[in-house]
């Protein structure tokens, strides 16, 4: 090896040929191979996608789909966004990775942006631990709670925080938990949105309360107004940490950088991932005030966490959301979706819930998986986190025409149903 910057064209073309050969096999053969070579944690995929641009993705058969799910609330700027592309290719061409023995400017710049974002104008000092996913961000948060010297954590029914052993320990769904018990911790689950239950559960033995501002995986469940500020008041009084999981709701998805900022609270811990890297894997666990000092040298780490390419993706996402006023667009387009759906006045639609571009269309029957399948056949990507809820979480760049194309198609999708044997499609988070 000479270290020459000239690409080895033969090796590049060998990789391209391998990809072209895989694509050339078509959906059926690729999925056959998938089912033999990839662990069956997600069930059999329904499409093989090869290309994306803006809010659209194309499958291997050349069919175009409007991506109303953004890779599960990830592609905030849509696919192949030129600014993200230029930032990450520039960074990887310059410096793609160093160990955490060293710092990089992009990592530090993103740390400054994120800490400013979570601290707001509170004046509280914040620090970040960079991870590679939402699960890992929550794992770091879990370890922070242990450093309080207490072990009791209060989580909520319907919550989802990830599937590593620590993140799973604070995730409620028994189907995910039970096969892996015993899980770490002293975790108690209380009804979500219930202030009195929270008040009764939290005491001076409580290390932390962990809450999502909206429960995304549980079907876009919105707590009553004032829930987070009550949680702030209750945890402060008990000397417990308030850990807010903004993995799905954060980074502009609901029309704010952090959905929890609606209630003007300053949490002790905030976790982010999904939209932060627009598809480049990155997670962040931010801690504020004394909690920011609870992890010290050797108490946590990650080889890839804080990688400069992932960090610059985060910087690019924040810059474009600001420049293109995408928080405003998220609110306007989310409201448009809700108004359009309400105007359909369809007997199978009960109501629309959520905020900004994190929306659940609640159906009157358990037919969401069938509607989601019909939508996919019609070229719209959505999912069914619960048997009666459709999740819509499109890129924040979505246009009015794109929203309207879906809501105009919705009555046809609903009328094409087979109501029997519906199941939720919540396995992909």
> Which residues of the chain form contacts with ligand PLP (CB under 6 A)?
133-135, 138, 160-162, 212, 216-217, 245, 247-248, 273, 429
Query: Which H or E element spans position 105?
Result: helix 105-119
CA atoms within 13 A on the CB side of 99: 1
Q: Which of 274, 366, 380, 406 is catalytic?
A: 274
Nearest CB to ligand PLP, comparing residues 198 and 273? 273
Residue 130 vs 160, nearer CB to ligand PLP: 160
Q: Which is nearer to ligand PLP, 56 or 383 (CB)?
A: 383
* Residue 85, token pair as written in the block: 């592309």
Provide the minimum distance between the beta carbon of 215 and ligand PLP in the complex, in angstroms, as a whole number. Answer: 8
Active site residue 160: yes
Q: How far is Cα 157 from Cα 205, in angstroms, rounded to an integer?
A: 20
- Residues with Cβ within 8 Å of 234's Cβ and at least 6 positions away in sequence, in order, are 195, 198, 199, 202, 209
* Spatial distance between the Cα atoms of 135 and 343, rounded to a whole number of angstroms: 38
Work out how close the CB of 132 gets to ligand PLP at its nearest, in angstroms, rounded to a whole number: 8
For the purposes of burial, counting CB atoms within 10 Å of the CB of 66, is it exposed (0-12), middle (13-18) or buried (19 or more)?
buried
Minimum CB separation of residue 428 from ligand PLP in Å reads 8
- The catalytically annotated residue of 129, 130, 142, 160 is 160
Nearest to 230 by CA among 189, 208, 263: 263
Tokens of 286: 């931010």
For ligand PLP, which residue has the nearest CB?
134
How many whole angstroms separate alpha carbon 217 and alpha carbon 215? 6
Spatial distance between the Cα atoms of 84 and 324, rounded to a whole number of angstroms: 14
Contact assessment for residue 189 and residue 157, using Cβ atoms and an 8 Å cutoff: yes
Token pair of 43 as six digits? 């069930």
Tell me how far, at minimum, the Cβ of 66 lies from ligand PLP, in Å. Answer: 21
Nearer to ligand PLP, 216 or 314 (CB): 216
Which candidate, 303, 244, 249, places its Cα nearest to that of 276? 249
Catalytic residue among 245, 259, 373, 422: 245
Please measure the distance between the N-terminal and C-terminal CA atoms of the chain and give it in whole angstroms: 41
Instruction: State the nearest-atom distance from the C-beta of 193 to ligand PLP, in Å.
Output: 15
Our answer to whether residue 152 is catalytic in this structure is no
To ligand PLP, the closest distance from the beta carbon of 168 in angstroms equals 10
CB 151 within 8 A of CB 306: no
The residue (of 284 and 348) whose beta carbon lies closer to ligand PLP is: 284
Q: Are strands 241-245 and 269-272 parallel, antiparallel or unpaired?
A: parallel
Whether 64 sits among the annotated catalytic residues: the reply is no
Q: Cite the active site residues.
A: 160, 245, 274
């Amino acid at each position: 090896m000479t270290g020459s910057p000239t690409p080895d064209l033969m090796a590049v073309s060998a990789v391209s040929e391998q990809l072209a050969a895989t694509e050339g096999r078509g959906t059926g053969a690729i999925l056959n191979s998938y089912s033999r070579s990839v662990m069956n944690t997600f069930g059999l995929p329904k499409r093989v996608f090869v290309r994306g641009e803006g809010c659209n993705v194309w499958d291997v058969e050349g069919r175009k789909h409007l991506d109303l799910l953004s890779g599960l609330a990830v592609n905030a700027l849509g696919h192949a966004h030129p600014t993200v592309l230029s930032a990450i290719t520039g960074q990887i061409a310059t410096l793609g990775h160093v160990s955490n023995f060293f710092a990089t400017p992009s990592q530090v710049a993103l740390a400054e942006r994120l800490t400013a974002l979570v601290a707001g104008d509170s004046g509280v000092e914040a620090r970040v631990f960079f991870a590679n996913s939402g699960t890992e961000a929550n794992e770091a948060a879990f370890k922070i709670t242990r450093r309080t010297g207490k072990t009791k954590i209060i989580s909520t029914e319907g919550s989802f925080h990830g599937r590593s052993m620590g993140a799973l320990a604070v995730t409620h769904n028994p189907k995910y938990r039970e096969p892996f018990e015993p899980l770490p911790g002293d975790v108690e689950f209380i009804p979500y949105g219930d202030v009195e239950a929270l008040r009764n559960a939290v005491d001076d033995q409580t290390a932390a309360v962990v809450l999502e501002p909206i429960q995304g995986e549980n079907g876009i469940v919105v707590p009553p107004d004032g829930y987070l500020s009550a949680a702030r008041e209750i945890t402060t009084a008990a000397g417990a940490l308030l850990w807010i999981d903004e993995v799905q709701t954060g980074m502009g998805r609901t029309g704010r950088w952090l959905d929890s900022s609606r209630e003007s609270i300053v949490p002790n811990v905030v976790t982010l991932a999904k939209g932060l890297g627009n598809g480049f894997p990155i997670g962040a666990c931010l801690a504020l005030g004394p909690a920011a000092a609870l992890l010290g040298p050797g108490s946590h780490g990650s080889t890839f966490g804080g990688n400069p390419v992932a960090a610059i993706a985060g910087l690019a996402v924040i810059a474009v959301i600001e420049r293109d006023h995408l928080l405003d667009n998220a609110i306007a387009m989310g409201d448009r979706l809700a108004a359009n759906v309400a105007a359909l006045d369809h007997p199978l639609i009960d109501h629309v819930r959520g905020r900004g571009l994190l929306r659940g269309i609640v159906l009157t029957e358990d037919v969401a998986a069938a509607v989601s399948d019909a939508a996919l056949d019609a070229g719209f990507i959505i999912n069914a986190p619960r048997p009666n809820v459709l999740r819509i979480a499109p890129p924040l760049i979505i246009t009015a025409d794109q929203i309207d194309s879906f809501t105009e198609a919705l009555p046809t999708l609903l009328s094409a149903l087979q109501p029997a044997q519906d199941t939720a499609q919540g396995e992909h988070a």
